């Protein structure tokens, strides 16, 4: 489906099984574990504010990620690297306030957990207490396992993120596909098993070959969430500004664009400006006598 033939808005019924017929509570990590058992796929979108979070929540998206992609998709940075804990707390709290049913997962930004498990704990607690999210996400496989373990022991649900980890953009020298070649593929599977073993409730697989993602999904008991990882993962995530056509310029190959909001909003703004110039707005019905 492209911008000229937008997909109809999904209804809440699309996630009825995941919600288990319950509509007055938030989705939990246990619901996601049960969905994997049933072989039921689910979707996740990013959200960075109360307004769009509320729209996706009403559309029945069961998991919303306050991604540090806010850096390049919301805050005007080039990458996710400059995003701070204070910014993540503020954005995550807004998404929590704007939603009722989705599980809200907040990203731990660059520099907020790599130093030590104790640092990861301090900052994850901020996201849980100050923003009120239901889970956190952090990047890294084997290298983050100890931190994941500590957070999970403390009762903090953790989503892991392996494959292409955007906080390492400067080390990667860009955003290359990961897991190509035998050694890289084995490392990806080791990372996936390490985060599962550490207690993560799900793992994002970003930009990895579809066959490798399928293999990981088959070998893990926790749900895999794919982005650029083919069709066989348990769930799919997209950055909302990419999937709705708000991103300026090129989007990655793995993005499907379901709307052309940039054109719609730009058109509305141009029409408003033209109406103001011509005196067509405000009309009598927009004015008080
Ligand atoms: O920050 C983000 O949006 C993410 C997704 C790409 C999974 O980590």
Tokens of residue 271, six digits = 């029409």
Question: What predicted TM-score, i.e. pTM, was given to this entire model?
Answer: 0.93
5 upstream amide cis, omega within 30 of 0? no
Nearest-atom number in ligand 1 for the CA of 68 is: 1
- The verdict on 239 and 269 lying in the same domain is no
| Domain total of the chain | 2
Q: Is the CB of 194 under 6 A from ligand 1?
A: no
| 150, 35: one domain | yes
Q: Which atom, in ligand 1's list, is nearest to the CA of 225?
A: 7
Q: What range defines the domain where residue 284 resides? A: 261-289
Does ligand 1 have an atom closer than 6 angstroms to the CB of 31?
Answer: no
Residue 72, in any domain of the structure = yes
Statement to judge: residues 218 and 277 lie in one domain: no
Helices 210-219 and 182-198 pack at an angle, to 10 degrees, of: 30
Distance (Å, rounded) from C-alpha 82 to C-alpha 235?
A: 28
Nearest residue (CA) to ligand 1, atom 1: 67
Mean pLDDT of the chain: 94
Q: Is the CB of 243 under 6 A from ligand 1?
A: no
State if residue 227 touches ligand 1 by the CB under 6 angstroms criterion. yes
Listed residue (214, 251, 210) closest to 229, CA to CA: 210
Assess whether 65 and 132 both reside in one domain: yes
Q: Would 3 be classed as within a structural domain?
A: no
Residues in CB range of 215: below 8 A, 6 or more apart? 189
Provide the 10 A C-beta neighbour count for residue 279.
Answer: 8
Which residues carry out catalysis? 206
Pocket probe mutation, ligand 1, options 48, 110, 204, 246, max atoms within 8 Å of Cβ: 204
Residues 254 and 276 reside in one and the same domain: no
CA angle 263/264/269 to nearest 5° reads 95
Same domain, 218 and 125: yes
Q: What is the CATH number of the domain that holds 64?
A: 3.20.20.60
* Residue 113 near residue 144, CB atoms below 8 Å: yes
- Give the pLDDT band (50/70/90) at residue 7: very low
For the chain, give the number of residues.
289
159-187 per-position pLDDT tens digit: 999 999 999 999 999 999 999 999 999 99
């Amino acid at each position: 489906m492209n911008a000229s033939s937008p997909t109809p808005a999904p209804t809440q019924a699309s996630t009825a099984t995941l919600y288990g017929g319950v509509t007055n509570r938030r989705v939990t990590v246990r619901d996601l574990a049960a969905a994997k058992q049933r072989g039921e796929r689910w979707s996740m979108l990013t959200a960075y504010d109360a307004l769009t979070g509320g729209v996706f929540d009403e559309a029945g998206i069961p998991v919303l990620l306050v991604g540090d992609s806010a850096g390049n998709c919301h805050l005007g940075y080039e990458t996710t690297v400059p995003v701070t804990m204070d910014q993540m707390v503020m954005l995550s709290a807004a998404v929590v306030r704007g939603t009722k049913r989705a599980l809200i997962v907040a990203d731990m930004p660059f520099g907020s957990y790599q130093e030590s498990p104790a640092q990861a704990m301090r900052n994850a607690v901020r996201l849980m207490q100050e923003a009120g999210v239901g889970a956190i996400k952090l990047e890294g496989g084997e290298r983050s396992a100890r931190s994941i373990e500590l957070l999970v022991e403390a009762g903090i649900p953790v989503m892991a993120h392996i494959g292409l980890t955007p906080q390492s953009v400067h080390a990667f020298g860009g955003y290359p596909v990961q897991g190509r070649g035998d050694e890289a593929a084995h490392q990806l599977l080791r990372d996936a098993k390490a985060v599962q073993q550490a207690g993560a409730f799900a793992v994002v697989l970003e930009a990895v070959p579809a066959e490798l993602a399928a293999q990981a999904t088959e070998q893990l008991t926790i749900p895999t969430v794919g982005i650029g990882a083919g069709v066989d993962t348990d769930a799919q995530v997209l950055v909302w500004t990419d999937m709705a056509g708000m991103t300026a310029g090129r989007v990655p190959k793995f993005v499907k664009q379901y709307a052309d909001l940039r054109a719609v909003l730009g058109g509305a703004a141009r029409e408003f400006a033209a109406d103001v110039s011509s005196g067509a707005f405000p009309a009598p019905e927009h004015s008080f006598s």
